[in-house]
Structure 1
Amino acid sequence: MHQVVITLGSNIDKERNLPAAVRLLAEGAEVVAVSPVYETAPVGPAGQPPFLNAAVLLRTDQSAAALKDGLLRRVEAQLGRQRTDDRYAPRPIDTDIALYDDAVFDYTPADGRPRHVPDPGLIHFAHCLLPVADLLPDMPHPETGQPLAALAAPLRRDPTIRLRPDVGVMNEPRIFTDLTDDTD
């Protein structure tokens, strides 16, 4: 089994779509933990509503490409995501693979757009790093070697980023401290 961290973002009907995405992910993989929810400014052109962001730790036996092409695309489709040429367009949900075990690799899902693991946005954007660091604070970033909590620390002082405890993503949040799985 693989431990995979999925980042979620929504700025259309976000208080409904973020929790719905977690429920849909749980239908296709084992949800181990869910991060707190953050409200962040959109990346790209101004004028969009802010995003709600979270991260979900899953256990799955699927490859990264199979997970992206199957479960993640299905979650996006069920919540009304329509992809356009504008990669910064508002969206009901966005799902990305941020971490896949502690691996570093490239893969190409069915859409033909190459992806990299760990997600390059993980070290560049608060909306990715903060929720992931909440799930796995001591994990070293697979490429930099720095603990995720250390990478996230400077971003926690950004006054434009808000925790949103009012947006529950699970009825019974489960966050485990021991994520060791020796049952490959």
Structure 2
Amino acid sequence: MPQSFLSLGSNQGDKEKNIKSAINDLSASVEILAVSKAYITQPLYYHNQEDFLNLALKIETTLPPEKLLNTINKIEKKYGRDREKEQRYGPRPLDIDIILYDNIIIDTPHLKIPHPRLYERAFVLIPLLELDPKLTCPKTKKPLRTYLDSIDQSNWTKTPKGLTLF
């Protein structure tokens, strides 16, 4: 069964509840294999907003990538996310991204795997590497650790040891 890695974040409402409930909702469609610690992180691109709570999931699923994306979009909408009206990189009650899906590469207008900003985000890389320290990028064939080593982590991750929610 294909394995995938998802990144979840929230910075509106009850962040912890949003993420825990979303994981529960996801478990109806995918098998959750592992959950990283949760990290409180500063917003990266648009700074005038609350801090985020971020974590990563390792999952197995029979859903093809496009159907997994549709499932994720429905869950985000359930928690109040409106992609049409929200500010890009602005506050949101729930954000779920497909970071990796097996070793495939997809580049369509609606879906890009691996996630195109994976390489610049400590709040994605740290939880992913916690789940699997040997992960490599299917596109560049480089270990993800090399990207983490090349970005400034100090401004993004306020709690490097993480918070265990599960």
Identity of aligned residues (%): 33
Matching residue of 1:89: 90
Deviations 1:109-166 (A, max 9, x none): xxxx432110011111112211112112102111222222333245585264124744
Is the CA contact (8 Å cut-off) linking 2:7 and 2:56 kept in structure 1? yes
Matching residue of 1:3: 3
Count of aligned pairs between the two proteins: 163
Matching residue of 1:119: 115
Q: What SS class does the counterpart of residue 76 from structure 2 fall into? A: helix
Q: What SS class does the counterpart of residue 37 from structure 2 fall into? A: coil
2:79 equivalent to 1:79: yes
Q: Name the CA shift for 1:98/1:28 in 2 (closer, same or farther; >3 Å).
A: same
Deviations 1:5-27 (A, max 9, x none): 11111001212212222111112
Is the CA contact (8 Å cut-off) linking 1:40 and 1:53 kept in structure 2? yes
Q: What TM-score comes out, normalization by structure 1 length?
A: 0.79
Q: How does 1:26-175 map to 2 (within 5 A)?
A: 26-69=27-70, 71-83=71-83, 84-107=85-108, 113-153=109-149, 158=154, 160-161=156-157, 162-163=159-160, 165-168=162-165, 170=166
Q: Which runs of 5+ in 1 are unaligned?
A: 108-112, 171-184
Q: What SS class does the counterpart of residue 27 from structure 1 fall into? A: coil
Counterparts of 2:20 and 2:54 in 1: how far apart (Å)?
11
Further displaced range: 159-168 or 86-95 = 159-168
Counterparts of 1:89 and 1:153 in 2: how far apart (Å)?
27
Q: Name the CA shift for 1:151/1:90 in 2 (closer, same or farther; >3 Å).
A: same
2:17 equivalent to 1:16: yes
Q: What SS class does the counterpart of residue 120 from structure 1 fall into? A: coil
Q: What TM-score comes out, normalization by structure 2 length?
A: 0.87
Q: Which runs of 5+ in 2 are unaligned?
A: none
Is the CA contact (8 Å cut-off) linking 1:41 and 1:51 kept in structure 2? yes
